Amino acid sequence: MEVDNIKISTQKAHINLSASQLIDMALARKEGELASNQALVVTTGPRTGRSPKDRFIVKDAVTEKTVDWNTINQSLSPEKFDALWQRATEHLEQKNEFFISDFTVGAEDEFARPVKVISELAWHMLFVHNLFIRTQKNDPAKQWTILSVPSLKTDPARDGVNSDAAVILNFSKRCILICGTYYAGEMKKAMFSVLNFLLPDHDVLPMHCSANVGKDGETALFFGLSGTGKTTLSADPNRFLIGDDEHGWSKTSVFNFEGGCYAKCIDLSQKNEPVIWDAIRYGTVLENVVLDPKTKDPIYSDTRLTQNTRAAYPLEHIPLREEKNHGKVPNAVVFLTCDLYGVLPPVACLTKEQAAYYFLSGYTALVGSTEVGQGTGIKPTFSTCFGAPFFPRPPQEYARLLMKRLEEDKAQVYLVNTGWTGGAHGEGGQRFSIPTTRAIVNAIVNGDIRHATLETLPGFNFSIPTAVAGVDSKLLNPHLTWKDQAAHAKNAKTLMQQFIENFKKFNVSDEIRKAGPVLL
């Protein structure tokens, strides 16, 4: 096989193995073990999440003026990439065996990209077999290649990187190189970043969101960072799942980039998340989940390895799913935020300008260490477009596309707080329960909330409903849940100031800037 004039011998390669073959190979190679539910359980060593400080984009004629270069989108020279790619291929060919498989990302043919994955681990190939779309398209002009060699450590002085690991995207050569990390999510998110760069040129808004479809055919989107409920809320036993994480919004449809789901497992329960619970079975990859040594039952509450425990399973494990992997343009868009200050309402109806403001702000909490170096605590963050690490272009480009889609399709945007109420995190507040949030989401997707009586929340100037079926009305207005109104006012002011300060970096219209919080 030849990739950009670099040859890789296929004599020792296992090519396009099935899921069961990959599981057998992983077990034989002692890469993991089977849990009592027959999922393949693996560990990823010290890196149990993404390594954002180790992600680079090759800076060349294609990317120099199109990428928003910053501490997230770090640059690497073509020469450094070529040298490291050569070392990686030589390192791989020293192995007794490795794996090659062909997949696709993007469920709409017009925007799909073929992906050839080359990996030294059977379980890594099972991971992408679950997460990517399991069809093969012969389109050399759009072909991408992922080369994953986790046992190859990088040298910062020699390779121009920051540590002994690196994830490098090369848009000119359509290659991704991953070295020094066993965390499989890097492969998934690297291809997400690729589509986030490519699709705006095709008038498609790429989104870090989940999506599902009601029995009436209406599509709903759920934006949010990991831990805010994106996967949980989209896995609705009464709706058809399109996907749990990555989608595109074109003029005519919402389509999944993937063929599987990557769900967080921390404190997973059959009662609260039955769809995800039942999806974890033979064929699933469980990352860093601790097993009972006797029964081999997964202990989802055990975080000794990481809070970022994960399950990677194919969409076929979801009984109610959209078979075509796409749906109509949405009529409801949900921004999920996890407010640590306890001052945001459980639901607010946003204007188009407010939607752009809160999309760019991406306010939420970091819940669980999805990235290396986050630690175990919970803290507030602003992640542009609800996924700053994955969007290479300037954020205003994505915001303009969002506004365009909202204008065209008349979708209503809602801000849904899955965080705290009645007090701040750690200061007497309580987190909204999953049943409460589900009741709110049900009112959104069935259209009831469009007919609700609304009032304005001062300061944030949100329109909030005064009643939602199945929800205690006192929960709908944050003021009513706090005993200490002075503390509430102080926390609200703190959060508003953070919004205003964070938003200073964006070059947007006055209408969007004025749609944010206003200090009273």
17-50 pLDDT, tens digit each: 999 999 999 999 999 999 999 999 999 999 999 9
Task: Please state the rounded mean pLDDT for residues 77-95.
Answer: 96
Catalytic pick from 231, 284, 364, 437?
231
| CB-CB neighbours of 7 under 10 Å | 10
Active site residue 201: no
Predicted confidence at residue 137, as pLDDT, reads 83
Decide if pLDDT at 4 tops 60: no
pLDDT at 230 over 60: yes
- Domain 205-259+324-513 matching CATH 3.90.1150.110: the answer reads no
Cβ neighbourhood burial of 486 (10 Å; 0-12, 13-18, 19+) = exposed
Q: Does the annotation mark 393 as catalytic?
A: no
pTM: 0.93
Under CATH, which number does the domain 2-30+50-202 receive? 3.40.449.10
Asked if pLDDT for residue 5 goes beyond 80, the answer is no
For 398, residues 6+ apart whose C-beta sits below 8 A from its C-beta are 200, 205, 206, 359, 385, 391
Does 301 participate in catalysis according to the annotation?
Answer: no
Across the range 36-65, mean pLDDT stands at 97
Q: Which of 87, 174, 230, 326 is catalytic?
A: 230
Q: Report the DSSP beta bridge partners of residue 343.
A: none
Give the per-residue pLDDT at 138: 83
pLDDT at 155: 98
pLDDT tens, position by position, 153-174: 999 999 999 999 999 999 999 9
Q: Which fold has domain 262-317?
A: Phosphoenolpyruvate Carboxykinase; domain 2 (2.170.8)
Q: What is the pLDDT of residue 368?
A: 54
Give strand ranges (E) for 346-461.
Answer: 348-350, 363-366, 379-382, 412-417, 420-421, 430-431, 454-457
- Annotated catalytic residue, options 47, 50, 317, 425: 50
Residue 50 annotated in active site: yes
pLDDT at 489 over 80: yes
Please say whether the beta carbons of 43 and 36 come within 8 A.
no
Domain spans in the chain, listed from the N-terminal domain onward:
2-30+50-202, 205-259+324-513, 262-317
Query: Can 239 be counted among the known catalytic residues?
Result: no
Across the range 221-234, mean pLDDT stands at: 86
Which of 58, 50, 89 lies closest to 185, judged by CA? 50
Annotated catalytic residue within 129, 134, 208, 264: 208
189 classed as catalytic: yes
State the pLDDT confidence band at 118, using cuts at 50, 70 and 90. very high
Q: Which pLDDT does position 365 carry in this prediction?
A: 85
What percent of the chain lies above the pLDDT cut of 70? Answer: 97
Q: At what angle do helices 122-131 and 19-28 cross, to 10 degrees?
A: 150
Choosing from 59, 129, 310, 352, which is the catalytic residue?
Answer: 310
Q: What is the pLDDT of residue 254?
A: 98
**CB-side neighbour CA atoms (13 Å) of 236:** 29
Provide the angle, in degrees to the nearest 10, between the axes of the packed helices 185-198 and 122-131.
Answer: 40
- The arithmetic mean of pLDDT across residues 133-146, rounded, is 92
Cα(386)–Cα(373) distance, integer angstroms? 19
Catalytic residue chosen out of the listed positions 226, 234, 284, 383: 226
When pLDDT is averaged across residues 402-431 and rounded to a whole number, the result is 95
pLDDT of residue 462: 94
Give the pLDDT confidence score for residue 180 in this predicted structure. 98
Question: Each residue of 258-283: pLDDT tens digit?
Answer: 999 999 999 999 998 999 999 999 99
Residue with tokens 């399950």: 311
Q: Is the dihedral of CA 273, 278, 283, 287 positive or negative?
A: positive
Contact predicate 42/185, CB 8 Å: no
**Which is the catalytic residue, given 87, 189, 326, 438?**
189
Report whether pLDDT(374) > 70: no
**What residue ranges in 106-243 does DSSP mark as E strands?**
113-119, 144-149, 166-170, 175-179, 205-213, 219-223, 240-243
Distance CA(76)–CA(179), nearest Å, equals 15
Q: To the nearest whole number, what is the mean pLDDT of the chain?
A: 94
Catalytic residue selected from 101, 245, 284, 326 = 245
pLDDT reported for residue 372? 58
Per-residue confidence (pLDDT) for residue 1, from 0 to 100 = 54
Q: For residue 409, what are the contacts with CB-CB under 8 A and spacing of at least 6?
A: 329, 330, 331
Question: Which of 97-111, 354-368, 445-459 is predicted least confidently?
Answer: 354-368
